[in-house]
Homo-oligomer: A and B are copies of this chain.
Amino acid sequence: MYNHSELKKIVDKAIVNLAYNTEAEKLIDPVRYTLSMGGKRLRPVLSLMSLNLFSDHIEEGIMPATGIEVFHNFTLVHDDIMDQAPVRRSLQTVHTKWNVNQAVLSGDVMAFIANECFLQTPAAHLAKVFRIYNKAAIEVCVGQQLDIDFEKAAVISQDEYLRMIELKTAVLFAASAEIGAVIGGAEEKDSDSLREFGRHIGFAFQIQDDLLDTFGDARVFGKISGGDIVANKKTFLLVKALEVADPDQLKKLHELFADRDIDPESKIRRVIEIYDSLNIRTITDNLANEHIELAFSQLEKVNVKKERKEEIAQIAISLIGRDK
């Protein structure tokens, strides 16, 4: 079996080795740039781990796993346009380094490069794998739409928020794990379990991501915290806080979010004070943990020896208690 670090190297190598149509270099430069920005490659690694539960022929899943990563990076390039985000992973975003038109077009070609990766799925699984991927890809677009809509909405419920992150984030983790299982030759009930495993991993990942932006990650030096608060971003923390706040706290929150002249540091500190008084950090942590527990219970059901599950279980474990 392969461990996490070996699989990440395999994915990184597959990304470096992607063959491009280079007749217009300007089209591909931002693609190379985006794909070389790094990142944890969590989705393709998850996919290959899922495959590796059932088969040692992980080479059969490398190109579709790579396709998932290319698709994910495609969404980042276009989401960054929509969010007018200047920086990602400490580097300029594509539309900042080049321009919006270039980010639209180079993003577009990444969607078809992802297709090209999926078209290299072994013939026996091609149609099924491509359908799983494509359904998720459409759902990710729906999730991004809901995200945009929610940013404009006055109030959104916890359920609405969770559905949005399910579509925008969790379904791609779900598809990653399911695709690996299918290529590995899993029986349907096992690939179904792994899909649900991936979905809960995705939920936990996004909820933790919200938490880390505000409460930081002690392990990551220089991690800037509070960006979501400064931007009035509707994270799980804020959605939950608006739901459980008393009238006085609600008023304070709305004042803080309406105040355009407030010093960012002070805004972050005062919002966190309210979050703390509402126990938001624990509530959020608990929700992430719940999803990790649900992920484990899905993994439990998979008809594979316990020893083989250790590596993929570690992905779930790594997502909780990061800050503890």
Contact at B105–A144, with CB atoms within 8 Å? yes
Decide yes or no whether A134 CB sits under 8 A from chain B. Answer: yes
Candidates B78, B109, B139; contact of A138 at CB < 8 Å: B109
Decide yes or no whether A130 CB sits under 8 A from chain B. Answer: yes
Which secondary structure dominates where chain A touches chain B? Answer: helix
Residues of B within 8 A of A245 (CB): none
| A146-177 interface bits toward B, Cβ cutoff 8 Å, 1 = contact, 0 = none | 10110000000000000000010000000000
A18-26, A44-52, A195-203, A308-316 - the one binding chain B? A18-26
Residues of B within 8 A of A111 (CB): 108, 111-112
A9-17, A119-127, A227-235 - the one binding chain B? A119-127
Contact at B81–A142, with CB atoms within 8 Å? no
| Residue ID in chain B nearest A148 by CB atoms | B101
| Minimum C-beta distance from A110 to chain B (A) | 9
| Minimum C-beta distance from A128 to chain B (A) | 10
Decide yes or no whether A115 CB sits under 8 A from chain B. Answer: yes
Decide yes or no whether A194 CB sits under 8 A from chain B. Answer: no
| Minimum C-beta distance from A36 to chain B (A) | 20
Decide yes or no whether A179 CB sits under 8 A from chain B. Answer: no
Decide yes or no whether A27 CB sits under 8 A from chain B. Answer: yes
With A105-B82, A119-B134 known to touch, is A142 a contact of B112 (CB < 8 Å)?
A: no
With A111-B111, A126-B127 known to touch, is A142 a contact of B27 (CB < 8 Å)?
A: yes
A138 to B108, CA, bound (A): 9
| Residue ID in chain B nearest A116 by CB atoms | B134
Question: Closest 6 CB pairs between A and B?
Answer: A24-B145, A27-B145, A109-B141, A82-B101, A112-B137, A115-B134
